[in-house]
A and B are shown apart, each in its own frame.
Chain A
Amino acid sequence: MFYRETGQFKTNYADDMAVFPILQDRLGIALILAVAFVLIPLTGSNFLLSSVMIPFLVFSLASIGLNILTGYTGLISLGTGAFMGVGAYACYKLTTLFPEVNIVVWIVASGFFSSLVGVLFGLPSLRIKGFYLAVATLAAQFFLQWCFTRIPWLYNYNTSGAIEVGQRTLFGIDVTGPKASLEARYMVLLTLVTVLTWVASNLMHGRIGRSFMAVRDMDIAAELMGIDLLKTKLLAFAVSSFYAGVAGAAMMFLWYGGGEANDAFNINQSFLILFMVIIGGLGSMIGSFFGAAFISMLPTMLKFGLPALGIPLAGATAEHLTYILVGALIIFFLIVEPHGLARLWQIGKQKLRMWPFPY
């Protein structure tokens, strides 16, 4: 009734090709941004910020990255965790070498280092396809993880072998380190995610995104149409690892506040992000957010939700049940909607357009 594009006439091409062609969509986005930027930091509890919103934002950045590679370009990667690690270590090295430069600059810049590494490990994608490539990217995962623990230069010869996050400020407010408030960290992260999502969305709607999708649909045909496979595939790896790298740096500096790489950037992390992309919807920006929200909040929901429903759980049993439930839910969602939550969202919107009339 209220979600309908009737009467919204498009009088030029730019309007017609807009990312959000319907007024209600634009209002919705504005509302979401307003809530995220104003309402949540002002009224949200520490729990909401630290265990729901910040993980969600970090993971959505990472899954946008992987979605560009897997969803838009059709190259499966199981090395996302390691690329995130590259970002985190690059950021750590940069900020210890040049402490006077703003940390936010370094978080973004570390993405470029991750890009470089990503391009390097993306080279086999020219010869290898499908699951062979997926397994080949595992080489990146294990090799980089090995580097993180065996090359002391990366963690500045710490005795702990972990990343230590120092005190850094932005406009005079602490944003990293132990004294930084949750709100400050959240705001920095949210700004990063918003800007980078905007960039990614525009990239994917433009020439680059189209060439990615052509390669995904059939790379030989794309090549015949004049798309340079070498450049396109490597660019996809570069963009994807850039996002992963920024996500990794943000994870270490704005969420964890330091820690060891082998816990944070291991193979399970890579799989988890692949889950997010697939559950959310391959080749869909909003799907990345849905997937990240679903997977990152699921353990928390189960941990606090089940006891609230009157199912008492001991520590170990709860963990096992969580595994069983996560597994079952993954299968359930794949069966119900193999195209992911993004497709459900589309169906919902379509229903809403028709409502309350059936046709």
Chain B
Amino acid sequence: MDILFKVLIDPFLQMGAMPDLFVQTIWDGFVTGVLYALIALGFVLIFKASGVFNFAQGIMVVFAGLTLVGLYEMGLPAPLAVLVTLGVMFVLAVAIERVVLRPLVNQPDIILFMATFGITYFLIGLGELIFGGNPKQMITDQLFLPRGAIEVKMLGGFVQFQKIDIAAAVIAVVMIVALAVFFQKTRIGRALRAVADSHKAALSVGISLNQIWVIVWFTAGIVALVTGIMWGARSDVSFGLQVIALKALPVLILGGFTSVPGAIVGGLIIGIGEKLGEFYWGPLVGGGIESWLAYCIALGFLLFRPQGLFGDKIIERI
């Protein structure tokens, strides 16, 4: 009975007793969730357009962040460094399309999945070779990102909002809106949606798949850069971040591989669920459950909806 009380009732009593702490936890979870969603977003873009399970998205985030900081340290002014980093991501997209995707077209999914592993290893090695393996400080001030925190008095206590977190949430929203406009209103966006629907039909109406893949990987690269700046500003820029990228995977299965809204909603569910679980239920089993809780939440959802919350319905025929 005691254990049931501790699992089922006590955490909620704690939430009720200290609502300010509860709000703080939710906020932390929300911001983490936004960042998970951003990583998942880059992934979904690529999966929709080319059917590639891009394991390298996490490393692209780190690589973009590292390139930005590395270029700044080499003496480029911050805005120029951002531009050059975007150029690097573009070159990367072209290179990946040329060297990896084009020769492997029409191969089974798992082969392409493995190829993105190759990209991951390659980028880790390249990044460390050029910029060194030490963690770096993100250049927040130079990019006009705010610092410090706002404390709001509410619910009988203080809740702290880091300004960078607020900025992250705002930028994420702006970027998602921009992507939505890009997809719905522009010519290229329409072509991208066509490719996502059917490769063959898109080819037959004269859409160049190769071109689309470059654009999609470049878009994912831009998303990666923004994510890299945000994650980097919250902690530091190092290859340790790739572990966090693994956290984006449950977000994906939760939201569905092919759904942009799914990535966002999934990110928020995982982010908030994880923080609440760690904070209120974690101590019962000795803490550290953050590492697997996200997967278990996602697994629970999957048992009821095998294609994720928003994924395309899986229809199987003989």
Contact = CB atoms under 8 A, between A and B. Distances in A.
A326 B113 CA distance: 16
Interface residues of B, number: 50
A146 B104 contact: no
Contacts of A224: 318
A278 B296 contact: no
A335 B110 contact: no
Nearest to A138: B295
B129 A317 contact: yes
B299 A139 contact: yes
A215 to B, nearest CB: 13
A132 interface: yes
Interface stretch (B138-146, B166-174, B281-289): B281-289
A17 interface: no
Given A142-B292, A146-B289, A338 B128 contact: no
B125 A322 contact: yes
A327 B120 contact: yes
A327 B299 contact: no
Contacts of A267: 246
Interface in A267-291: 267, 271, 274-275, 278, 282
B230 to A, nearest CB: 23
Contact of A143 (B99, B250, B295): B295
Interface in A139-164: 139, 142-143, 145-146, 149-150
Interface residues of A, number: 47
B299 A124 contact: yes
A196 interface: no
A139 B121 contact: no
Contact of A330 (B117, B133, B298): B117
B306 A323 contact: no
A327 B125 contact: yes
A139 B295 contact: yes
A331 B119 CA distance: 8
B313 to A, nearest CB: 13
A51 B260 CA distance: 47
B295 to A, nearest CB: 3
Contacts of A130: 109
A76 B53 CA distance: 13
Interface in B292-318: 292, 295-296, 298-299, 302-303, 306-308, 314, 316, 318
Interface in A309-341: 316-317, 319-331, 334-335, 338
A29 interface: no
B253 interface: yes
Interface in B93-126: 99-100, 103-104, 107-111, 113-115, 117-126
B316 A220 contact: yes
Interface string A183-222: 0000000000000000000000000000000000010110
A179 interface: no
B267 to A, nearest CB: 14
Interface in A94-128: 124, 127-128
A189 to B, nearest CB: 28
Given A132-B307, A132-B308, A136-B253, 12 more contacts: A132-B306, A135-B249, A136-B299, A138-B295, A139-B296, A142-B292, A316-B128, A324-B121, A324-B125, A327-B119, A327-B125, A331-B100
22 contacts: A70-B110, A128-B303, A135-B250, A136-B295, A136-B298, A136-B302, A138-B246, A139-B292, A139-B295, A149-B288, A267-B246, A275-B114, A278-B110, A317-B129, A319-B128, A324-B122, A325-B125, A326-B118, A331-B118, A335-B104, A338-B104, A338-B108
Interface of B: 53, 99-100, 103-104, 107-111, 113-115, 117-126, 128-129, 133, 246, 249-250, 252-253, 257, 285-286, 288-289, 291-292, 295-296, 298-299, 302-303, 306-308, 314, 316, 318
